[in-house]
Amino acid sequence: MTIHQHHTTLQDIQSPKRELYPPIEPFQSGMLDTGDGHQVYWELVGNPAGTPAVFLHGGPGAGCNPNHRRLFDPEKYCVLLFDQRGCGRSTPHASLENNTTWHLVSDIERLRSMLGAEQWLVFGGSWGSTLALAYAEEFPEHVSALVLRGIFTLRQHEIDWFYQAGASYLFPDLWEEYQAPIPEEEREDMVAAYHRRLTGDDEAARLQAAQAWATWEGRTISLLPTSAATAFGDPHFALAFARIENHYFTHGGFLDEGQLIGRVERLKDIPAVIVQGRYDVCTPATTAWDLYQAWSRVNPRVELHWVGDAGHAVTEPGIQEQLLAATDRFA
């Protein structure tokens, strides 16, 4: 019988919390022409001679914000951040055409090549963790380390938990508002019902659905209520966020069921840190645990850090502290 040693930690909820690195502006930015109808915004921050890293934002469809730059020591890292197809500063806005996981993986690889980095650290939270795993499993030779938060692998039960039944038991009042744009007779498949509205010709219905979809997520991702949730209802943001998320979830992330955890042996030589909020309602802890159990069987350099007083958001103080510790370590 093999005794399996777990590299897991539980953060003391009384521990001091670290601030992000100071605000920083890009030293270079541009647009990647994908050649199939998209212009992808990218930027570089930090030290041009530093350890290369790529930041993969969530959603899909959320885009990057200036605080994401601050998760890395600017003296030690050269970080590439980009807005994935159809969102943020990338164009065309909210476009679903030629917009799949594998298009994004290809974009990441083109950006690595543009940067001239043989290997880079790949950092992703929530949907960013999905994309990080998909990319790393395709190109393990180009990944020096992985830092993942709020693990999401798009298995059907993960989508159902948040959008059909599960999280609804914890936030019944907010769930009612999420259900509101959908007639009762269509509620047996909420993702499909939203898809019809988010891709339909009725502009008012499209926007109403987008705001309800986005606001549901914005109001449930942190352990305690936060004013940041209101940003999710911004019409410009919500349209890309809801349309792109729903498009990906309708198609199971363009992945086979269980694919990312099933192929984790490809990552057997890559050091990794997983950071997971214990009370994450959006991507519950069971997925991080499933990933860790499968991965740690083939890779002794994978660590799972539970944050005892956190939900899903990157802004949770305990999560932020663990992410900063991870990027510091791999610098």
CA distance 195 to 159: 14
Q: Where in the sequence numbering do the catalytic residues fall? A: 126, 280, 312
Q: Please tell me whether the peptide bond between 23 and the residue prior to it is cis, using omega within 30 degrees of 0.
A: no
Matching residue, tokens 């790393």: 136
Under DSSP, the state recorded for 73 is -
Q: What's the number of CA atoms in the CB half-sphere (13 Å) around residue 56?
A: 32
Which residues are paired to 30 by β-bridges?
42
Matching residue, tokens 């100071």: 22
Which strands make up the sheet holding 51-56, listed edge to edge?
8-11, 302-307, 272-277, 143-149, 120-125, 51-56, 77-82, 39-46, 28-33
Contacts of 279 (CB under 8 A, 6+ apart): 223, 309, 310, 311
Nearest-10 crossing angle of helices 203-218, 235-250: 80
